[in-house]
Amino acid sequence: MAPRASSPALSENEFDIGSALFGNDDGFDTQENGLGADFGVSLDLPNGDGSDDEAFIAATQAASNRKASNLKGNTVKKGGGFQAMGLNAALLKAITSKGFKVPTPIQRKAVPLIMDRQDVVGMARTGSGKTAAFVIPMIQTLKAHSAKVGARAIVLSPSRELALQTLKVVKELGRGTDLRTVLVVGGDSLDEQFNSMTSNPDIIIATPGRFLHLKVEMDLDLSSVRYIVFDEADRLFEMGFAAQLAEILHALPSSRQTLLFSATLPKTLVEFARAGLQDPKLIRLDDSKVSPDLESAFFMLKSAERDAALLYLLENTIKIPTGKTEAAKKVDEAAAADNNKKRKRDPEGSNFHGSPTANSTIIFAATKHRVEYLSTLLRTNGYSVSYVYGNLDQTARKAQVMDFRRGLSNILVVTDVAARGLDLPYLANVINYDFPSQPKIFVHRVGRTARAGRKGWSYSLIRESDVPYLIDLQLFLGKRLVSDKQSAGGEPNFAQDVIVGSFIQDELQPMVERVHGLHDAEGDLIDLEKVAGKGEAQYIRTRNSASTQSVKRAKELLASRKLTGTHLLFGTEVYDALREKEKMLEKISAFRPAESIFEISHHGASNTAAEVMRKRREQIENFKQKKAQSSTDDLEDEQGVPQSKKTAELDNDSDDAEDLEDADSESESEDELEVSVSQPESGKAGKDDFQNSEFFMSYQPKGINVAEDKGYGVHSGSYNTAQQSSNFLESARAAQFDLTNDETRGFAEPSKARGMRWDKKSKKYVARTNDIDGSKGAKMVTGESGLKIAASFRSGRFQEWRKTNKVGRLPRVGEMETSANRAASHNGGQHYKHKAQKAPKEADRYRDDYHVQKKRVEEAKQNRIGKFKDGGAKSELKGVDDVRKARQLQQKRQEKNARPSKKRKF
């Protein structure tokens, strides 16, 4: 019998379930390509058995999610919308509901690389969508909650505010999934965080210090982590988090995917070697370090005029109204109408998602004492003010930021703790009351405004001691330094130039008098100002120093008085009128009589005093010529610039020493200064060159901008940059300034970072090189990585919590979660304590709601709630206490009356 012909239908083993689920996709043929097809997803996943099946399903889903018009064979177009990235439908819906239509440049470049499971280092300016750039692929990769125990993604943030902002984005984009996310930050209850961590979360958003505390206390196993993100990576890898990150990174598996994101990153990734990057892809979008929609103005003033200048900016330039804001008035009206005072804190109130005021302003100060002083000063002037600093209680910080977000206050006074992490999309203005000592701090400060295509302004108050830092910032941004109408070359461009000037003195002086009057009227302001002055002195001593070239250039600019002219912000007509007045005053102040009092009317006659003055003039003239000649020779030797470009004519008739300084300041332009700083030193003309251009390799990179590289450096914020070394641990120990130290205690720490300290317990001097985490002699234990961590991390709090809550054995990583974990996740890891039932108040016949309240009281009596639990009527049964009390009262009455009992005795 002839064999039967084979059936055209596929057998059970050959049936393609992928095509049945997702339909026919162009360019997708299982029989021809099999598992060898290029789906754009790595098939080597680290999780044991079934990894090929998991990769096959992920690739099939990604291919089906892409638009058919964007598919060419087995490849996908780069760029386009979110639909071209292969995202699932739930995630696309969440992205659309959040208002994202087209991915930003950092998202367009980073998301495909992250979904290909590559390590990525991303840099883009603030407000460019960096958070969504790593949250979107994280949700796409994790997909849904895993019943296996173990966290799969960790996001580390340097501050609590940034962690809260990241949690908000994760919740919004993960709305269509059942992923469990927990927040682990300092200041919150440890017991609640213990409960959250035992609920088997998928994503952990944390600050390094508290997360390390929970890891050591709970003995967490991080072997299941597949995805770790360092948000604001340059801040995380600075001194304050060195020990915490070393311990956390040691516990992570080597197969993890590592992502680093920040607005300021150096071009060289050597400083991030400890993050464990494996063949990382660098995405650097720093063409515009600040938003092109940001306009900036820099004002020169004296220290005594800063408070008056701040009030002048708020009142005349920004024009912020005093009194309560419109949002606060609406809340008060609603509270009065509903007779509910707690409505003010209701998150469902009006304008919860942003400040509705068009002139909302954030003011940056250096210390927490200055923040307290400025907030009190502004409140005294009638402004609605919120404030945030590092040492503020977490609950108070949330309340203050919430008031500013909702528009209940239109001014937020903060330290640099809020320079990163606060997402305030409606912020209109930024004021730098204390000028930042690092260019990247300025970038993060002004990055709070001019976001998402909106316009914004930044105003900076500069004293003479801040001018070198202004020069550093100008070189870092690569913009022109403009101080007058002639150098502006027409209409001033506040977005493209660094425009410096001073206030109109006639308008600023009334503000100065007002501040003095407030100090006389309010005694607290004087005390707060004294404390703030002492804290600022500590801050100035510990901030990092500016570059040598910037200090030299700043002295020349101050000597030439180019920065003291009226600012172009006040208009060209006002500028021209005030400029003429300033020129006349300069001529009067620069007037020097040709003869002294000894030479008047003694021209021909021989006079001893006149002869002495003539000899003195000759000596001064010779000295000035010799000094000018020696200075030009030194400049030629150092920079190799011809003398004709570096010297200026000296006025032989003037005795003022400022003329010499003016001549030097005019000799060097901004372009020459930038070239001298940014380019290697050129040799002298005519010098023999022994270098072979074909084989010589210089140790200095070509085309590098020194100012930009230094500004982006991780350790550029250290107090003594000369002591930095290439070793990361030594550099961390040498770093002596921390942005979060906004109080005096923090300023006193860096000055003693090296050397020995006195240990009270051992009563001897011990080395301070082991106090990286700032434990200051507290008891230390050795962690898993070998570094010393604080012994307080192993305090036994978790074991006490388990005993109190009767928590038994917890499942290990890789095991299936128990019903207790699922129950804890349903209520969000929180214990509902509000179980008390209270009876309503008695009905008042004179109120309008008398009948409604009477009905509620009757219902409470029927249900026996609160005081009606024994029924509505008064019980006539006496208890033991009632009988005892009655007997005591009867005994007192008998003793008081001294009468025998009326009972007859037989």
**Which tens digits make up the pLDDT trace of 88-98?**
899 999 999 88
Least confident of 589-598, 628-637, 887-896: 628-637
Are residues 312 and 203 part of one domain? no
pLDDT band for position 767 (cuts 50, 70, 90): low
pLDDT band for position 565 (cuts 50, 70, 90): confident
Question: For the chain, what is the domain count?
Answer: 3
Taking residue 208's Cβ as centre, other Cβ atoms within 10 Å add up to 22
Quick one: pLDDT at residue 528?
94
pLDDT at 269 over 80: no
pLDDT at 290 over 70: yes
The DSSP H or E segment spanning 857 is helix 850-863
Are residues 456 and 551 part of one domain? yes
Average pLDDT over residues 149-176: 92
Last residue of a domain, one of 556, 583, 610: 583
Last residue of a domain, one of 806, 829, 852: 829
Are residues 441 and 349 part of one domain? yes
DSSP letter at 654 equals -
Does residue 501 form part of some domain? yes
User: Could you give the 3-state DSSP secondary structure of residue 664?
Assistant: helix
pLDDT band for position 555 (cuts 50, 70, 90): very high
DSSP letter at 874 equals P
Quick one: pLDDT at residue 561?
83
- Distance of alpha carbon 118 from alpha carbon 129, whole angstroms: 19
Least confident of 519-533, 792-806, 834-848: 834-848
Query: Which residues fall within 8 angstroms of residue 35, CB to CB, at 6 or more apart?
Result: 43, 52, 56
Does residue 467 form part of some domain? yes
Are residues 419 and 331 part of one domain? yes
Average pLDDT over residues 542-551: 89
Quick one: pLDDT at residue 101?
84
Strand partners, 760: none
- Distance of alpha carbon 550 from alpha carbon 474, whole angstroms: 10
Average pLDDT over residues 574-584: 72
Select the more confidently predicted residue: 126 or 829: 126
Query: Which residues fall within 8 angstroms of residue 424, CB to CB, at 6 or more apart?
Result: 354, 355, 360, 362, 404, 405, 448, 449
Does residue 518 form part of some domain? yes
Does residue 625 form part of some domain? no
Are residues 549 and 410 part of one domain? yes
Select the more confidently predicted residue: 676 or 778: 778
Taking residue 863's Cβ as centre, other Cβ atoms within 10 Å add up to 12
Smallest CA-to-CA distance from 711 within 260, 296, 234, 297 is with: 234
Smallest CA-to-CA distance from 678 within 557, 549, 556 is with: 549
Provide the percentage of residues in the chain whose pLDDT is more than 70: 65
Least confident of 38-47, 76-85, 474-483, 862-871: 38-47
Does residue 405 form part of some domain? yes
Q: What are phi and psi of 107, to 5 degrees?
A: -70, -40
Of 134-138, 448-452, 737-741, 775-779, the range with the highest mean pLDDT is: 134-138
Quick one: pLDDT at residue 201?
94
Average pLDDT over residues 277-288: 77
Last residue of a domain, one of 548, 583, 618: 583
752-765: per-residue pLDDT in tens?
A: 445 677 877 778 87
pLDDT at 748 over 70: no
pLDDT band for position 649 (cuts 50, 70, 90): very low
pLDDT band for position 605 (cuts 50, 70, 90): low
Are residues 123 and 27 part of one domain? no
Are residues 242 and 353 part of one domain? no
Least confident of 138-147, 453-462, 773-782, 854-863: 773-782
Counting Cα atoms < 13 Å in the Cβ hemisphere of 747 gives 18
Q: What are phi and psi of 365, to 5 degrees?
A: -125, 165
47-93: per-residue pLDDT in tens?
A: 444 456 666 666 666 666 655 434 444 444 444 588 888 898 999 99
**Residues shown for the chain:** 906
Average pLDDT over residues 792-813: 86
Does residue 564 form part of some domain? yes
Are residues 65 and 115 part of one domain? no
pLDDT at 128 over 90: no
Are residues 93 and 34 part of one domain? no
834-851: per-residue pLDDT in tens?
A: 566 778 888 888 888 888
Token representation of residue 539: 């801050």
Are residues 391 and 318 part of one domain? yes
* CATH number of the domain that residue 226 is part of: 3.40.50.300
Are residues 179 and 48 part of one domain? no
Look up tokens 């057998």; give the residue.
11
Token representation of residue 736: 């002596």
Does residue 710 form part of some domain? no
109-118: per-residue pLDDT in tens?
A: 999 999 999 9
Average pLDDT over residues 231-256: 81
Residue 43 lies in domain: 20-77
Does residue 634 form part of some domain? no
Residues 225/256, Cβ–Cβ less than 8 Å: yes
pLDDT at 479 over 70: yes
pLDDT at 276 over 50: yes
Judged on CB neighbours under 10 Å (0-12, 13-18, 19+), 741 is: buried
Average pLDDT over residues 311-315: 95
pLDDT at 680 over 70: no
pLDDT at 681 over 50: no
Quick one: pLDDT at residue 867?
76
User: Could you give the 3-state DSSP secondary structure of residue 173?
Assistant: helix
Taking residue 579's Cβ as centre, other Cβ atoms within 10 Å add up to 15
pTM, two decimal places: 0.60
Are residues 468 and 333 part of one domain? yes
pLDDT at 471 over 90: yes
Select the more confidently predicted residue: 646 or 496: 496
Q: How far is CA 627 from CA 503, 631, 657, 701, in A?
A: 37, 6, 12, 37
Helix 208-218 with 190-197: angle, nearest 10 deg = 70
428-444: per-residue pLDDT in tens?
A: 899 999 999 988 889 88
